[in-house]
């Protein structure tokens, strides 16, 4: 899994909301009893100089959600219930 990309991907507020909605949906489909605070805590907040994070799997999931929103459109993601 590659590090997070720190280039020119800028999300609107609606796109960011859709990406977070989709990310949390994916996480809860895997671990339905996990509280949101644990999901966010497990991800960690530190990004290393090389762009990697403490949780490369979560970074990979986040990247996929962002790419899906940018490809599909935020409104489509939000109105479809976050279906991938």
**Is 50 within 8 Å of 3 (Cβ atoms)?**
yes
pTM value is 0.78
Contact 7, 53 (CB under 8 A): no
List the domain boundaries for the chain: 13-79
**pLDDT tens digits along 11-37:** 999 999 999 999 999 988 988 898 888
Tens digit of each residue's pLDDT (9 = 90 or more) over 36-80: 888 877 777 777 787 777 777 888 888 899 999 999 999 999 998
């Amino acid at each position: 899994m590659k590090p997070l990309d720190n280039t020119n991907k800028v999300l609107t507020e609606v796109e960011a909301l859709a990406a977070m909605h989709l990310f949390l949906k994916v996480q809860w489909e895997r671990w339905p009893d996990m509280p949101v605070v644990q999901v966010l805590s497990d991800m960690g907040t530190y990004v290393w100089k090389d762009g990697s994070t403490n949780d490369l799997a979560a970074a990979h999931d986040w990247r996929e959600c962002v790419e899906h929103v940018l490809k599909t459109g935020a409104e489509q993601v939000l109105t479809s219930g976050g279906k991938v």
